[in-house]
Amino acid sequence: MEMSGPGVSRRRRTVKKRWWGRLRQQWKLLGLFEIDQQHEFYSLTCMMKEGLYAAVQNTIDNPLPDELSEDDYNLEVTQIYKDFRMETYAGPVFASLRRSLGMTEKEYQQSLSSEGSYLQFISNSKSKADFFLTNDKRFFLKTQSKREVRFLLSNLRIYMEHLEKYPHSLLVKFLGVHRIKMAHQRMKYFIVMQSVFYPDDRITARYDIKGCEMSRWTDPAPEGSQIIVVLKDLNFDGQFIKLDQQCPWFLRQVEIDTAFLQTLNVLDYSLLLAHQPLHQDELSQTLSFATLIIRAKKSVNATSSPTHATSPTVPGVVAEEDSTPLSSELHSTQRHITEKHSGSDGTDIASLKEDKIEQTGRVGAESTDLQMFQAQNRRLLPNFKNPLHVIDGPEQRYFIGIIDIFTVYGFKKRLEHLWKRLRYPRQTFSTVSPPAYCHRLCQWVQDHTK
């Protein structure tokens, strides 16, 4: 029997008041907060750190195979502790990806398990997941549902193949998948991934872009506030991603990555975008043609890839990645050399022919490299470690990555799409078919990039 009366009404009002109070308090607390001993997640994050240290140590003690096998993709390793146990999924596969990004296991372990506390990131996202950052803000840890983790693991091979084919893909880099079980509590699945916004010291604005309008506005943080607010599509109106020579590469890579996500039948993913002004010594740097060719070779040759370089240099403006102008410039250089020698006095004709053959061979080799370079849509990277989603424009440095790739267009999403079509007939919303979502996000990027 339902109870009623003044007492019940007061209790209901009190509960409602507390609920609104907590909601207002949460909005006041948007941003990053250290998980100290009084924090509700302190015990959980301590267990995460302990388990992750041992999981990475296991990789350090057991060198990776030359080639990954099916067993590596299906591997599950369980670590048992006094108060919890932790499973690590496909450890060798993720270790292989970390290595390809120029990341050592020791530095990965140190970041995940340093003495400094994890940070909790509270956002205005509708996601029910919990977000944590390592103390150096380099890696994100995010709780996931069992379905999302299974989806990632079932598509892990083709995800790895995509990153191998397109090493400068904008897709977020997943670096580990784990499950932790504590006594008398529900188990938690979580993933480790690179933070797209790293290093974040001078970032002036952050955006989460889906290419639609409905619910895509966020009130900016008050001026002078230290609160970190991730803005949305409508906040970006009237602005542009100014990449200049980087623009063709960027537009093409967005097309490639979203087409891949379309094959996975997913939607609702986001393009994360942030920017910061370049330092004065990074502006308007000019690069010689020889330097461009060296960079192209370094990108194509895996053994000397800039992602494995040990001596960082200041990143400058990167030249256009399209191989066509590079090829024409190569041929122009070769033609200039030939014409110069053909008019000189007393030159040995046989030597000239040998020089010409050698030059032609070099040009042919360069053209082959450039064709491969174009097929993989590779960037001409400066000679420094760059496993991050960092792209320099003429005046701004942009941090760009595609995240949240787990929402499958199944029966529930189809129903949601039909309902929203009726409810919001004149607005664009997130829940559309994967082909439509892919096309719309690409169009947004094209309209807002120059």
Q: What pLDDT is attached to residue 444?
A: 97
Token pair 């066509």 is found at 324
In 183-237, where do the E strands start and end? 188-194, 205-209, 230-232
Q: What pLDDT is attached to residue 424?
A: 78
Q: What pLDDT is attached to residue 450?
A: 94
> Which one-letter amino acid corresponds to residue 349?
I
Q: What pLDDT is attached to residue 30?
A: 60
Nearest 5°: the CA angle 380, 248, 214 is: 125
Q: How far apart are CA 400 and CA 404, in angstroms?
A: 14
Beta pairing class for 31-34 and 119-122: antiparallel
Q: What pLDDT is attached to residue 329?
A: 37
Q: H or E element: which one contains 399?
A: strand 396-403
Contact 124, 30 (CB under 8 A): yes
In 164-302, where do the E strands start and end? 174-182, 188-194, 205-209, 230-232, 266-267, 270-277
> What would the DSSP string read from start to end of 270-327?
EEEEEEEEPPGGGTT----HHHHHHHHHHHH-GGG-GGG-SS-----PPPP--HHHHH
Neighbours of 96 (CB within 10 A): 18
Q: What pLDDT is attached to residue 377?
A: 77
What does the pLDDT profile of the chain (450 residues) look like in tens digits? 445 555 656 666 555 555 444 544 444 456 788 999 999 999 999 999 999 999 999 999 998 988 999 999 999 999 999 999 999 999 999 999 999 888 999 999 999 999 999 999 887 666 778 999 999 999 999 999 999 999 999 999 999 999 999 988 999 999 999 999 998 888 999 999 999 999 888 899 999 999 998 889 998 888 877 788 899 999 999 999 999 888 998 999 999 999 999 999 999 999 999 999 987 766 755 555 555 555 555 544 444 333 333 333 223 333 333 333 334 333 443 444 344 444 444 445 455 455 555 555 555 666 776 777 677 777 765 444 445 678 888 899 999 999 999 999 988 888 877 877 777 787 787 889 999 999 999 999 999 999
Q: H or E element: which one contains 52?
A: helix 42-61
Q: What pLDDT is attached to residue 285?
A: 54
Q: What pLDDT is attached to residue 357?
A: 55
Q: What pLDDT is attached to residue 348?
A: 52
Q: Provide the whole-model pTM.
A: 0.76
Residue 74: phi and psi, rounded to 5, are: -100, 0
Q: How far apart are CA 105 and CA 420, in angstroms?
A: 46
Residue 156 burial (10 A CB sphere; 0-12, 13-18, 19+): buried
> What would the DSSP string read from start to end of 82-130?
SSEEEEEESHHHHHHHHHHTT--HHHHHHHHT-SSPPEEEE-S------
